[in-house]
Amino acid sequence: MTHPTEHSLVQGGRSAALATACVRGGVAAGLGLGALAVLVTAAWISSPYPDGGPGGALHVASGLWLLAHGVDVVRTDTLSGLPAPLGIAPMLLAALPVWLVHRAARDTLDPGDDGDRPRPSPSGTVAAVAGGYLLVAAVVVVYSESGPLPADLITAGLWLPAVVLGAAGAGVWTALGRPLPGQRQAAAALRATGLGLVTLCGGGAVLAAVSLAWHAGEAQAAFTGLAGEWSGRAAVLLLVLALLPNAAVWGAAYGLGPGFTLGTGVLATPLGLAGDPAVPSFPLLAALPAEGRGTWVHWAAAAVPLAATLVQGWRVGRTAKGWQARDAALTALASAWGCGAAVAVLAAAAGGPLGSGRLSAFGPVWWQAGAATVLWGACLGVPVALTVRAWGRRALRPKPLPLPLSVPAPASVPVPASVSASAPSGTGIGEPFDLEAQPDAAPDAAPGGPAPQATGTDPGPRAAAAPTPPASTPVPAPASAPALDLDLDDDPGYEPYDYLPAAWEPSPPPPDPKA
């Protein structure tokens, strides 16, 4: 009969924690799918002309859920009868499943109130949460094959694990306190990358909003033309809201220079729109630039990457005040590469095919957008970082102190011979003067003997004047006044006191005379 050891108990606790993490991942997938299924079912119920039964609504929900993870789906009910791919994922719709995976991984590793329960390792947490989530996703992929929006197996095998693993890793990083790399250059580059990316996407959103407001009439006509009843318009409005982050990425790519494609062979850049665009009727697509060459209004879109690069370089330069110029330049260059990689990922998620033929390429080209971001950061961000660093070092440089004014030495004053002769013997220059070491003398005694007493009105004979030294006698140098050494601590009769009692404090009682 064997008894459980401490090692076996720990291993069993970790296994249970991994199983709990796997269940958390599956629950996160079910919550996201269930929320989307409720939304699609509500739209199907409110539609005056429902197409199919509740099974069709669930198939549509599963297809949209996979599309939110970046998986391309295939539309089978087209007007031509040929299947058409659909690969533009509404990025706002993707926020829900990503947040659910992030929360599941964070809560698994975060002890919370129960700090005694065993926790798996960070890598084990990522693997367990992602494994449970991907098990549910595999079932959804198989289920969608029999619906109107079957999943493309190639993109499902690539994008789905990448999105889930990335979200789980971000959750573990949050649970660990969001640690940054130990090297200061890497941490500064990551901070500057995040700041530049936020500025770039925010500027792209402003560009899209301004263009949409400029073409408000066309957008309203497209909105009313897609659906006549309120349920259809509500569905179109929800789709527009879900695609707003995509519009921000499109605006950022337009300002960077490469722009975006509107079908095969059609490119929209600040320099103009080349080709015949194949644009379907949709409210957000009404904000696209008109055909022809660009004007100063279109060229003004370059202010977005300019502002993002300036902010990015300023951040690096402000952090690198005490660094060498080489370290600051390398940090700014690393930040440019990091921001370029992030923009490339966002551009790949914001674009994709809208159909077959000319609509097979729609949106920003990921490698062009990423390369343009790196080019902006290398050509402008690095000089800005070096300039801000140099200015910061100039501000921190100490000001030189003023030179002290030369003061002429005081002229020596001759000392009379009588003063020097009256100095007590045995007292040298700089030696302390001791009162106890002086001979006792009567206050009225003369140096040569007792002084004569004064009688009546006669004040008595005056003291003889000090003899004048002969001319041949050298006069000694003037001596400084002897310093008084009044060290009263050596006096046995000296009693120090600490403080005097205040008026409001009681005085001490008198001593007892009998004592």
Q: What is the DSSP string of 69-136?
A: TT--EEE---SSSS-EEE----HHHHHHHHHHHHHHHHHHH--TT-TTS----HHHHHHHHHHHHHHH
Tell me, yes or no, whether 174 and 191 share the same domain.
Answer: no
Would residue 465 count as lying in a domain? no
Tell me, yes or no, whether 46 and 93 share the same domain.
Answer: yes
Tell me, yes or no, whether 256 and 327 share the same domain.
Answer: yes
Q: Which amino acid is at 192?
A: A
Tell me, yes or no, whether 80 and 105 share the same domain.
Answer: yes
Would residue 105 count as lying in a domain? yes
| pLDDT of 456 strictly over 50 | no
Total tally of structural domains belonging to the chain: 2
| pLDDT of 463 strictly over 50 | no
Q: Can you tell me the mean pLDDT for 208-217?
A: 92
| pLDDT of 478 strictly over 80 | no
195: left (phi over 0), alpha (psi -120 to 50) or beta: alpha
H/E stretch holding 146 reads none
Q: Are 147 and 62 in contact (CB under 8 A)?
A: yes
Would residue 131 count as lying in a domain? yes
Residue 69: how many CA atoms within 13 Å on its side-chain side? 36
Q: Which two tokens stand for residue 227?
A: 């659906």
Q: What is the pLDDT of residue 327?
A: 92
Tell me, yes or no, whether 80 and 100 share the same domain.
Answer: yes
Tell me, yes or no, whether 79 and 136 share the same domain.
Answer: yes
Would residue 382 count as lying in a domain? yes
Q: Which of 42-56, 91-105, 328-342 has the lowest mean pLDDT?
A: 42-56
Tell me, yes or no, whether 271 and 295 share the same domain.
Answer: yes
| pLDDT of 457 strictly over 50 | no
Give the separation between CA 231 and CA 50, rounded to whole angstroms.
11
Which backbone phi and psi does 261 adopt, to 5 degrees? -95, 145
Give the separation between CA 39 and CA 58, rounded to whole angstroms.
10
Give the separation between CA 514 and CA 332, rounded to whole angstroms.
90
| pLDDT of 193 strictly over 70 | yes
pLDDT, tens digit, for every residue of 131-165?
Answer: 999 999 999 999 999 888 999 999 999 999 999 99
- Is pTM beyond 0.85? Reply is no
Residue 158: helix, strand or coil by DSSP?
Answer: helix
Would residue 277 count as lying in a domain? yes
Tell me, yes or no, whether 78 and 195 share the same domain.
Answer: no
Task: Find the domain containing 341 and state its range.
Answer: 183-395
Strands 84-86 and 73-75: antiparallel
Q: What is the pLDDT of residue 17?
A: 84
Tell me, yes or no, whether 277 and 372 share the same domain.
Answer: yes
**Considering 354, 370, 395, which residue would you say is the last residue of a domain?**
395
Residue 419: helix, strand or coil by DSSP?
Answer: helix
**Considering 163, 179, 195, which residue would you say is the last residue of a domain?**
179
Tell me, yes or no, whether 258 and 386 share the same domain.
Answer: yes
Tell me, yes or no, whether 166 and 211 share the same domain.
Answer: no
Q: Are 476 and 429 in contact (CB under 8 A)?
A: no
Would residue 424 count as lying in a domain? no
Tell me, yes or no, whether 339 and 227 share the same domain.
Answer: yes
| pLDDT of 228 strictly over 90 | no
| Residue for token pair 């030294």 | 469
Residue 515: helix, strand or coil by DSSP?
Answer: coil
Would residue 477 count as lying in a domain? no
Give the separation between CA 166 and CA 148, rounded to whole angstroms.
29
Q: What is the pLDDT of residue 231?
A: 80
Q: What is the pLDDT of residue 110?
A: 79
| Residue for token pair 């409005």 | 237
In this prediction, residue 116 has a pLDDT band, given cuts at 50, 70 and 90, of low
Would residue 271 count as lying in a domain? yes
| Residue for token pair 């030189």 | 400
Q: Can you tell me the mean pLDDT for 85-111?
A: 91
Q: What is the pLDDT of residue 356?
A: 81
In this prediction, residue 474 has a pLDDT band, given cuts at 50, 70 and 90, of low
pLDDT, tens digit, for every residue of 294-314?
Answer: 889 899 999 999 999 999 999
Contacts by 428-436 with C-beta closer than 8 Å and gap 24+? 429/479, 429/480, 430/480, 430/483, 431/482, 431/483, 432/482, 432/483, 432/484, 432/485, 433/482, 433/483, 433/484, 433/485, 434/485
Q: Mean pLDDT in the chain?
A: 80
**Considering 395, 430, 462, which residue would you say is the last residue of a domain?**
395
